[in-house]
Structure 1
Amino acid sequence: MSIRTGRPPEHADHRALPRSDRTRFPWRILLHPLRRPSSWLLRKRYDLHVHGAHLVPTDGPVLLAANHVGVLDGPLLAIFTPRPVHVFTKEEMFDGPIGRFLRLSGQIRLDRFHPDPGAVKSMMRVLRDGACGGIFPEGRRGNGELERFHRGAAYFALASGAPVVPVVFFGTRDPGGRSGSLPHRGARIDVVFGAPYTVPAVPWPRTREQVEHTSMLLREHLLVHLASAKALTGRDLPGPLPPGDLDPDPATGVTDQGAP
């Protein structure tokens, strides 16, 4: 059974802070036509299994929050989520020809090291228009255990009232593989969607303490889903990246020890 949010997008206020009324909705020229052939190609190469897709609300704003293990995570999120999804993508990926492809497929360019109001407004535009956004709270590829958890997912949940759907990837990187490596041909890949987590929308100004508290609650929800996904699939994550292979990323976020 699919989930309906019952929240019509026309109730969104693009003039609320942060304003999104002057921000264009991301292009979708390539997002729709490429999903089906891309799904076919990936299923031909890998033993691919999608679990819990019915848990993604069928209407209204939704934010997907996924662990980040390998280079395939972003494409898998865009292709196998039941709805078209606009995912935050690090700005370094927008260099060269692939950048044009990412723009035309609706992905949102993000500067991870400096305040990026343009990216924030783009995601708010997506959510306020009742569409689906995506974010990797860990900020970079790693072991996928959610040890690092940036505050962005909580901020957008509070700012928009959108339910947050946890997503876990297994098999998108072989054990010992580098961050940019693909899994071996025929590898089993599992994409596991979880139950939505919703917090009431909070009007401007949202305090650091509110975002901090919500981040801790949201991370706990994702950790519970991660444990359930491991039990459901009988899978484990691939472990840490090889030494020296971690992508630079801001040292912010919430962890088991709290927030730095």
Structure 2
Amino acid sequence: MAWSRPVGWILDNLVYRTTVAGRSNVPTGGPVIFAGNHISFLDGPVMFGAAPRPMHILVKQEMFRGFLGGVLTAAGQLPVDRRRGRAALQRCRNVLDAGRCVGILPEGTRGSGDASGINGGVAWLALQTGAPVVPVAILGTRQGSEHLDSVPRPGRRLHVNFGRALTLAAHAGESGRASMDRAAQEIRAALAGHVQDAIELSGQRLPVSNDPQDVAAVAGTPADDH
């Protein structure tokens, strides 16, 4: 990912004007799961460019075709087949076990970005690997009533805020499913609260929700059927 880190910096600092807060909240070593809210297809690249550490981001498998697919593979991004999420989760686990970082957009679909619901993949990874989860608020990549597929004009002000790391573990006597559900709820609450804090800090509001039937499935998490 050595060459792709500068590309992320260019996106955040030359194409757009990105204000970054909370970098000191990111552990400087060991595995980390970055969990960001999701409002635009640019959220992953913007988070990648703003983070103080390189990460492997889950990207939907359909993007790994042709020239773009080669670029994504060379940049170290991880394909996810939403119909078969276990394989992607295992790849992420291997990355985390090696002490590296994974970026996930656990809402799973582009929407208002308020983290009102998340899929369970991020909770499974946190429990299986012990990696801390850093909530990431991404604001400005879509505004107002802009369409889900809209591309922000160059020069727009974006905001990325890294929250305090959250470490999760199973409780004694707790079933696997109960642990998963509790961990997912803790992550959802942490991300939702952090997004609201970032809104107050930056003054940048979330976009208006689109009609649910128009919400597009995107890279982020496998279904929580594991």
CA contact (8 A) 2:112 2:208 kept: yes
The whole-number CA distance in structure 1 between the counterparts of 2:10 and 2:222 is 38
CA contact (8 A) 2:30 2:100 kept: yes
The whole-number CA distance in structure 1 between the counterparts of 2:109 and 2:214 is 11
CA contact (8 A) 2:17 2:157 kept: yes
The whole-number CA distance in structure 1 between the counterparts of 2:105 and 2:40 is 12
Task: Give unpaired runs (5+ residues) of structure 2.
Answer: none
Q: What's the CA shift for 1:216?
A: 0.9
CA contact (8 A) 2:106 2:119 kept: yes
> Of residues 191, 208, 218 in structure 1, which corresponds to 2:160?
191
Q: Deviations over 1:90-142 (max 9, x none)?
A: 11221332111111111111111x23332122101111011101111100111
Identity of aligned residues (%): 36
More helix by share: 2
The structure with the largest alpha-carbon Rg is 1
Letter in 2 for 1:178: H
TM-score, normalising length: structure 2: 0.89
> Of residues 86, 95, 111 in structure 2, which corresponds to 1:126?
95
Q: What's the CA shift for 1:159?
A: 0.3
Distance 1:236 1:59, change over 3 A: same
The whole-number CA distance in structure 1 between the counterparts of 2:212 and 2:176 is 37
Distance 1:235 1:100, change over 3 A: same
> Of residues 86, 89, 109 in structure 2, which corresponds to 1:140?
109
1:214 paired to 2:183? yes
Larger relative contact order, structure 1 or 2 (CA cutoff 8 Å, min sep 6): 2
CA contact (8 A) 1:172 1:183 kept: yes
Task: Give unpaired runs (5+ residues) of structure 1.
Answer: 1-30, 254-260
> Of residues 98, 103, 127 in structure 1, which corresponds to 2:68?
98
The whole-number CA distance in structure 1 between the counterparts of 2:9 and 2:127 is 33
| SS in structure 2 at match of 1:176 | coil
CA contact (8 A) 1:66 1:137 kept: yes
Distance 1:46 1:242, change over 3 A: farther
Give matches, 1:29-178, under 5 Å. Answer: 31-112=1-82, 114-178=83-147
Letter in 2 for 1:231: E
The whole-number CA distance in structure 1 between the counterparts of 2:68 and 2:210 is 24
| SS in structure 1 at match of 2:200 | helix
Distance 1:81 1:251, change over 3 A: closer
The whole-number CA distance in structure 1 between the counterparts of 2:86 and 2:212 is 34
The whole-number CA distance in structure 2 between the counterparts of 1:103 and 1:252 is 23
The whole-number CA distance in structure 1 between the counterparts of 2:209 and 2:30 is 36
TM-score, normalising length: structure 1: 0.78
Aligned residues: 221
Q: What's the CA shift for 1:166?
A: 0.2
CA contact (8 A) 2:89 2:121 kept: no
Letter in 2 for 1:189: L
CA contact (8 A) 1:194 1:225 kept: yes
The whole-number CA distance in structure 2 between the counterparts of 1:89 and 1:70 is 13
